[in-house]
Amino acid sequence: MAMALLLVGFAAILSSLIYLGYYMIALLMDKKNPFKKPLFFPLLVGGITFSIIGFVTIEESSANKLEEEILKNETLAEEHTLLQEEFKSLTQDFEELTQSKDQLLIKLSDKEKELSSLNAQAKEHDKEKSAFKEKIDSLQAEIEQLNADVKTLTSENSSLQATIDDLKTTTVASTSSASSGSSEIY
């Protein structure tokens, strides 16, 4: 609407100026047309008035729009500041997490080395365990063989002991019969 008032005012001023131009041309051509003040001045004053009102209202609406845009700009500036702070915070968190990740990767590498070392030790202990198991098995076989030998020797010892006992009894009997026989001789 403000633009319409400005255009109507501009058209009224333009028509009053055209009328003034027409009157001047007619005056130069010696035509005696009277200058109609009731036509010229109301058009000129109305045109100026409408133009001023239209311009002021356009200026006010532009000022209102400018204020709205300034408010939007301030809001966006605040959001931008908040986003920059959040970005800085996230960047710092990212750097801390990257450092933490690097430290954890180093620890993981150390633990993997330790695990491989422990696995090597476990394999070595397994080899030693199987060697001990084989040695135990061979020693058990040897113990069983020695136990069998002990049983054999024990039975031989028993039979020899029985033979010795028999010989002693025979020796004693023969000595006693010899002594009883020798006493008969004397």
> Taking all residues of the chain, what is their mean pLDDT, rounded to a whole number?
86
Tens digits of residue pLDDT in 139-164? 898 899 999 988 998 998 888 888 88
Binned at pLDDT 50, 70 and 90, residue 95 comes out as very high
What's the mean pLDDT in 1-30? 85
Q: What's residue 120's pLDDT?
A: 92
- φ and ψ at residue 31, rounded to 5 degrees: -90, 135
Q: Please check whether residue 30 lies inside any domain of the structure.
A: yes
Task: Give how many domains the chain has, as a whole number.
Answer: 1
Q: Please check whether residue 148 lies inside any domain of the structure.
A: no
Binned at pLDDT 50, 70 and 90, residue 4 comes out as confident
**Three-class SS state of 162:** helix
Please give the Cα distance from 18 to 16 (Å, whole number): 5
The answer, yes or no, to whether residue 186 has pLDDT greater than 50, is: no
Q: What's residue 3's pLDDT?
A: 80
Q: Please check whether residue 78 lies inside any domain of the structure.
A: yes
Residue 21: name the closest of 33, 7, 9 by CA.
33
Q: Please check whether residue 172 lies inside any domain of the structure.
A: no
Q: What's residue 63's pLDDT?
A: 73
Q: Tokens at residue 71, please?
A: 């408010």
Q: Please check whether residue 13 lies inside any domain of the structure.
A: yes
Domain coverage including residue 39: 2-133
Please give the Cα distance from 169 to 172 (Å, whole number): 5
Q: Please check whether residue 63 lies inside any domain of the structure.
A: yes
3-state secondary structure 70-107: HHHHHHHHHHHHHHHHHHHHHHHHHHHHHHHHHHHHHH
What's the mean pLDDT in 40-62? 84
